[in-house]
Structure 1
Amino acid sequence: MMNSQIASRIVANLTHSGDKVVIYFGDKQIKAAEFLDLIQIYRRGLINLHRHENIAILMKTSPDALALFIASLSVAKNTCFFDPNWPEDIIKKTANLAQIDMIISDDSQSAVDTLSHLVLKTPTVTADHEAEAEVNNLDGNYDPNYTCFTSGSTGLPKGCMRSEMSWIRSFGSDQKFTDIQESDTVIVPGSFAHSLFLYAAIRGLYTGATIALFTNFHPNRIVEIFEHINNGVIFAVPTQLDALVHSTCQHGENIKRILSTGSKLPISIYEKLVDVFTEAVIVEFYGTSELSYVAARTVSVDDPETLVGRPLPNVEISIKGPDGADIPMGSEGLVYVKSDLAFRGYVSHSGLQEADKSICVGDAGFFDFNGDLHLVGRMDRAFQSSGRNIIPEAIETALTSIEGVALAAVFGVPDATRENRIAAVLCIDAQITKPDLISCLRQSLATYAIPSIYYKCDIWPKTTSGKIDLITLRSKLLAKELEVLF
């Protein structure tokens, strides 16, 4: 008996799949029966531990880590994934914050209180029937929770707790756009420490599809899998998609869907995707770790750069001004979301801080007169320059639309006269000069919004999720570690 509906559904799918390959991992092809055995062994091991509250997994992406997560869902009230790249001090503090009862790691040398995964795989482990009964009676019909964390690049990570039912509702809400079927292979190109990729793996198994896992993001290794599948579905962030199209990509026609989320998908990357993945429908989701999915659309080359799409079922969006009052359609303001897909709240030393019914995560946007949502940036990235409110994302969009500009990040650099000067950091694949950039930007930006300083950066820092690490990039800029572009 399992308290988790997700775990029960996955176990049922595996039970009826027999010899079907359900996981590609490196050069391994793992069949349903083999993966099912792994889940059951882990579950028996966890039951015998008599710790059924908060379990954290400190492991790199792998079939073992995924099997352990599914097993933990079925026996624990709350399961977390910790990032193996976190420093030891961050791991200890986060465990204390989230009131973790046990950290499970595959690193026997770890300084934290861990249990090697090899212990859980011992074939002689048998179920403790009293412990099994204890698990089956945890608060009656409780709803298991999953807590994801920020990358921890700026101090202590922030934990977002989601209920299992919010995941299940998300599975139903995204089906129109993901169209995941049992015959598909879901490509999972990132770390389970980032909620998007754990969601993608569970989403595939929950539907009965095959999944492809990768310990690290290596574009050439990922595209190699395309040869072995017929109906591929890729979950990825835009920077990963850009890397994939620049790899030696063959058999792109075997990908049927590309699902982009995490940040806005630039039209320049979309155009490259269309050339490589000739049969794929490209979908962009707007969502966050806190909110799950909010809105989505099938992308078209003619879409405005700011367009996100329509709210998903059971998602209500309102645009409010600084005073919290609703503002007219077409006017920019803060995006507030009310949804049964959203998280329960943030974890803290004092317990769970329940989320408000209407949640704002700092995104700014507006509704057009067709009822579609547009995003113009994050209020916490906005800054003032010469008395003007500067939205970095709008300038970044204009920069990446210039031929030869692969990536762009815009920052405010403190200035005694202007408050901030506008600085742009660029990854360029052509001989572009500062005058060239300014000439192009004059066609799409107001004069006050055109950056006055330009820097070149060939190797861009990335977060665990594959997004641009803006904090590290800004630090490099302020430390004068970047090459000035003239």
Structure 2
Amino acid sequence: MKDGVAPHFNPARPGAVIGCGLRGQNAGAVAALLDCLARGLPVHASLDGIRAAAPEPAPLLYCQSSGSGGRVKTIRRSHASWIASFEVNRAAFGLSDRDRYGVLGQMGHSLSLYAALEALHLGAGLAVLAGDGPRSQIRQLADLRITVLYATPTQLRRLLLAAEGALPAMSHIICGGGKLDQACQDGMAALCPNATIREFYGASETSFITIADAGTPGGSVGRAYPQVRIRIDEDGRIFVASPYLFDGYAEPDLLPVPRDGDYIRTGDIGWLDAAGHLFLRGRESRMVTVADRNLFLEDVEAAMMAVGAGACAAVAVPDLQRGHAVIAVVEGAEDDALAARLRRACRDALGDHAAPRRVVFVPSLPMLASDKPDLAALAGMFGTVP
């Protein structure tokens, strides 16, 4: 804050918006965002589009969570909480007004909105390619010489399936919203040979928590992002304090996130090594008991992806004998050999209790608008195991 004035997002410079993806919903979202910036009004972004919120005493932003916890929540945060990280990224990653940003997802999703606002705030070029197929997105990334790409792992995997040639202009790939598996990371390194790939761990409520890069030990989500403090309690629960935290939920019926002083509870379980690298076990809400043993469903998914499952998810359903049973859902055609390989991989990596009771193949996984698997919808496909 300077001279008692709360920081606002900078309005975009003329010509900052580029690209041929600005049609229909994209064009409307970008126009509404630019109008909010020009008039200094709070931004309200949702899956229905972007609009100006009612003027408030402080510059505020409203965006939506991914809904991976079963309900989409409206996040209320100050402009300052994102501007602080824009400036960190400018200094730490060397971002500038000479860059050109590519956004693959709808701007109602917080990751895409963050990327768009960072580009406009820094005066960089911006191309919004949401809704286009991966072949079209690849072509536009190449033709527009995009240098900065914010994306989820699912979006990157789709690009790789459509990739032909390379994207030599790409300098920075910043991935969040899920675990970036090694095969996808290797594929993106080949597709973008001049890019630094960074994976961040965070949430709509916290923004950046850690950043991982090529020097990060395997299995870690990296060290604390600048000015972030991480604390782990005796049960492995992760608490975070930083300048980037949200102000709360807009919905009055939602309980506030648990706090301990300046720290908020992330809902994740993990541990820190002696060098400060954070390792995640999984979400508290995704830890289940199978045959009297605790199991994180994220571990099952990682074991399956390590042996070629591709797009997949693990869900747990009540089991009258063992507490829970694990069901693996895999995108693709029926494949008995792959199903057997997945069960064996989970058993070898995690133990007999982790082997999926069933492996179900589906034409496509149900997905949230944030490009994460819709776990609630998947769990609803199955009943209790007798």
Q: TM-score range by the shorter chain?
A: 0.7 to 0.9
Deviation digits for residues 207-226 of structure 1 (CA, Å, limit 9, x no counterpart): 12111112415211111113
Aligned residue in 1 for 2:218: 304
| One-letter amino acid matched to 2:328 | A
Aligned residue in 1 for 2:329: 425
The answer to whether the 8 A contact 1:186-1:204 is kept is: yes
Matched residues in 2 for 1:471 and 1:232: separation?
36
Following superposition, the deviation at residue 251 of structure 1 comes to 3.6
| One-letter amino acid matched to 2:299 | A
Aligned residue in 2 for 1:370: 275
Aligned residue in 2 for 1:458: 363
The answer to whether the 8 A contact 2:103-2:149 is kept is: yes
1:22/1:156 CA distance change after superposition, 3 Å? closer
Aligned residue in 1 for 2:32: 68
Aligned residue in 2 for 1:190: 105
2:46 pairs with one of 74, 82, 105? 82
Aligned residue in 2 for 1:88: none
> Matches of residues 66-215 of structure 1 in structure 2 within 5 Å?
66-73=30-37, 75=39, 78-84=42-48, 142-150=57-65, 157-175=72-90, 178-215=93-130
Aligned residue in 2 for 1:123: none
Matched residues in 2 for 1:266 and 1:231: separation?
23
The answer to whether the 8 A contact 1:284-1:299 is kept is: no
Matched residues in 2 for 1:479 and 1:191: separation?
36
Following superposition, the deviation at residue 173 of structure 1 comes to 2.6
Structure ID, larger Rg:
1
The answer to whether the 8 A contact 2:70-2:376 is kept is: no
Matched residues in 1 for 2:366 and 2:91: separation?
34
> Gaps spanning 5+ residues in structure 1: where?
15-19, 29-58, 86-102, 106-113, 115-134, 323-332, 481-486
User: Normalized against structure 2, the TM-score is what?
Assistant: 0.87
Aligned residue in 2 for 1:336: 239
1:466/1:409 CA distance change after superposition, 3 Å? same
1:461/1:479 CA distance change after superposition, 3 Å? farther
Aligned residue in 2 for 1:474: 379
Aligned residues: 378
Deviation digits for residues 48-68 of structure 1 (CA, Å, limit 9, x no counterpart): xxxxxxxxxxx9332x42342
User: Normalized against structure 1, the TM-score is what?
Assistant: 0.70
Following superposition, the deviation at residue 176 of structure 1 comes to 5.2
SS in 2 for 1:241: helix
2:291 pairs with one of 365, 369, 386? 386
CA RMSD of aligned residues (A): 3.2
Following superposition, the deviation at residue 389 of structure 1 comes to 0.8
**Fraction of identical pairs, as percent:** 28
Bigger relative CO (Cα 8 Å, ≥ 6 apart): 2
Deviation digits for residues 287-320 of structure 1 (CA, Å, limit 9, x no counterpart): 11000111102146x8423x11111121110001
Matched residues in 1 for 2:347 and 2:255: separation?
49
| One-letter amino acid matched to 1:425 | V
1:275/1:374 CA distance change after superposition, 3 Å? same
1:278/1:76 CA distance change after superposition, 3 Å? closer
| One-letter amino acid matched to 2:368 | T
SS in 1 for 2:285: coil
Following superposition, the deviation at residue 78 of structure 1 comes to 3.8
1:361/1:74 CA distance change after superposition, 3 Å? farther
Matched residues in 1 for 2:255 and 2:80: separation?
17
